[in-house]
Amino acid sequence: MAHIVDVLLHDQRAILTTCSRIADVPDCEGVTLSLPHLIGSEGILATLPLPLNDAEREGLRRSAKIVREAIQSLNLQ
């Protein structure tokens, strides 16, 4: 956490794995995932693309679906 704060305060522009809501990964929109991001003084500047094979991409989609369904089940209560 201290390293992330240091990067933010001093605009060091580092690549760090952080959690954020995803908008640009197919079938993962709106789900918070931990991915490599370029971080600077303004926060997350970019999400780095993941070089995934077909099986890894499908696993990521399944995981996002499970997270999305869990969130929806909490909202119904």
Domain ranges of the chain: 2-75
Strand order in the sheet with 32-40: 14-21, 32-40, 43-47
Per-residue pLDDT, 33: 82
Question: So what's the pLDDT on residue 28?
Answer: 80
User: Which residues on neighbouring strands pair with residue 17, listed in sequence order?
Assistant: 36
Look up residue 9 and give its two tokens. 């305060």
For 2-75, give the CATH class: alpha beta
DSSP code for 1: -
Write down the pLDDT at residue 15: 96
Question: Would you give per-residue pLDDT tens digits along the chain (77 residues)?
Answer: 899 999 999 999 999 999 888 777 777 887 888 889 999 999 999 988 888 899 998 998 898 889 888 888 887 65
Q: Residue written as tokens 């197919």?
A: 26
